[in-house]
Amino acid sequence: MGTSVVSGRGTGLVVSTGSKTYMSTIFSTLGKEKPPDAFENGVQHISYALIGLMLVIVPIMIVSDYYTSHNVSESILFGISVAVALTPQMLPLIVNTNLAKGAIAMARERCIVKSFDAIQHMGAMDILCIDKTGTLTMDSAVLVHHLDSYGLPKERVLQFAFLNSYFKTELKSSIDDAVLAYVYTSGYRFEASKWRKIDEVPFDFSRRRISVILETYPKIYKENGAHPEMQRFVITKGALEDVIKICSYIEHIDTGTTLPISLEDHQRITHMGEELSNDGLRVLGVAIRWLTSMRGFPKNDVIESNMVFLGFLTFFDPPKDSAKQALWRLSEKGVQAKVLTGDSLPLAIKVCKEVGIATMQVTTGPDLELLDNTAFHEAVQRATVLAKLTPTQKLRVVQSLQTASNNVVGFLGDGINDSLALDAADVGISVDSGASAAKDLADIILLEKDLNVLVSGVELGRITYGNTMKYIKMSLVANISSVVSLFIATIFLQFEPLNPRQLLTQNFLYSLGQIAIPWDKLEEEYAKIPHRWSSRGLPLFMLWNGPVCSIFDTVTFAFLWFYYGCDRLSELKFFRSAWFVEGILMQTLIIHMIRTEKIPFIQEVASWPVICSTILVTAVGIAIPFTPIGQVMGLTTLPVSYFGFLVVLFFSYFFVGQIVKRIYILAFKEWL
């Protein structure tokens, strides 16, 4: 459950079990199924709207058809066919095909998708929270300095830092590896075998330090200038500010004796640490405390107190060459990067400046703790660099960004301390080399800890979302306008404009032409900005574009009624054949009208799979009335003059539809 005993000994007292334990309360909030997002809620609302429309239109059409045919079963079958035509049957197939295709494409870009929904969220993401170490930097610490409290090189500082890193039981970090590598390759001979580990106070993200308790022989202490009775001592290594605050003494530069730390000493050490951080170095403090008692150990908070400050360790973790370019590409796509790190603010600012992240607005975890909720949200929204954050503070920051402006927030993290934020983010992103807990909670796993891989994921996410929305828009416009046209024809013509077989065949052919939508290309302008579901945009889109199709269907009815004399039941077969062909061609044309904001076939041409599928469906739709299958369906051949009318009709629809589309885009651009 995330806990382990790594060293020492003690007595355990069970105070609660099962779901009442502290770890259970933490993990109970992790890994839960997230509530439906805006896209899922939107699709659900569309389904409810279509059901409501069916409940209104279908009974009216059944009654109207029965009034003329006096056949109950035929009228009910016609009503069921209308309900089927109103349903976007291909929605599950198109959506899942889009997501599966996107997942495969992202896998080629070394992005493993664990949750299909995360692909759409990647496309909608407008804020990306990232850690500094390993994401913006190489995550390969190199020890640069080991200095005393006056800024002079001191072997004693390196010796005790080495013992701390050597004897710690936890998994060695890059800092420990850097200390050990420096000692082993620089000719120093610190004999670890002369020391024995007694206990350890492990690292945690609140204290930001680790302490080990060691024991050796009196002669060793004499060699190091210590009192013979002091046979045990504590070595602490950690963040400079967290080490200084537990120190009461300092070693004198000349005599090596310990003196009470003064305000001047404290200011000097703090100033030196800031200067080193401003040079792009990570700064740690090293302190020791001699334990005179041999009768056990005081509590952790007492062990780490009244310590002697020895000096500094500085490390260099160079920025990645690819980070600056990747951040620029993300910015171009409307994704704002925010750095959330546990490191010091000066170091975070230094690295962020080198990779091109603005550092005009910055804050720290301790500063955020002092703010009320309103001020907290405002500070988080403004800041681009947030340093010295605890895991809980990272979680609060992510939640604040999600709620304050309805942002879609991604979080990139690879450590156990990132688990809470990863689980809360709309898109949790980890890396293959990350901690197991982080990978379990992530939605996407990067096989390379490189932001450029993430940029590719954002691009593919937007393609997937864009093609999904194309289908939803064109399907709703085509299906609803077709049903409205059927409703008008049934009421005014007093006969079934299409029988159930013809209506279902027409609907099937149109759906078949939409199968290629997942393989359609996306306009460059669309992929440059994040898109999310708009509860207003889609209804407005249908209200603006749907009636245009119904108007031209009505024009077709009038033409057939007056020009070809289809006002008599004897001409019913001709009427149905004419509208069957017109309906298929109109719905196929809608695919190209809706898929782009530009002028179709002129400014923007669909991908070849979409073109091929629409040509095939169009050819089949025109050919059916001339085949034995058409005769079985109750269709008849059509004269050439009718196809001349269709050419004029479709050019007119193309012209009017483009004007309506442009007006809609200009009027409701923010809801697209």
DSSP 207: T
**Cβ–Cβ < 8 Å for 136, 128:** no
CA 143/CA 666 separation, integer angstroms = 58
For the chain, how far is it from start to end, CA to CA, in angstroms? Answer: 45
91-108 vs 117-124: helix crossing angle, rounded to 10: 70
CA 639/CA 500 separation, integer angstroms = 24
CA 179/CA 173 separation, integer angstroms = 10
Which of the following is catalytic: 131, 317, 423, 426? Answer: 131
131 catalytic? Reply is yes
| CB contact burial 305-323 (16+ within 10 A = b; e otherwise) | eebbbbbbbbbbbebbeeb
**Cβ–Cβ < 8 Å for 418, 117:** no
Place of tokens 């973790």: 317
Per residue, the 3-state secondary structure of 31-49, as one string, reads: CCCCCCCHHHHHHHHHHHH
CA 191/CA 179 separation, integer angstroms = 15
Sequence-ordered list of residues with C-beta below 8 angstroms from that of 197, at least 6 positions apart, any chain: 7, 167, 212, 213, 214, 215
Q: Which two tokens stand for residue 143?
A: 């020890």
Q: Which residues pair with 339 in a beta bridge?
A: 130, 385
Among residues 655, 654, 502, 491, which one has the least CA distance to residue 578? 502
From residue 212, give the alpha-carbon distance in Å to each of 121, 233, 624: 45, 8, 84
Catalytic center residues: 131
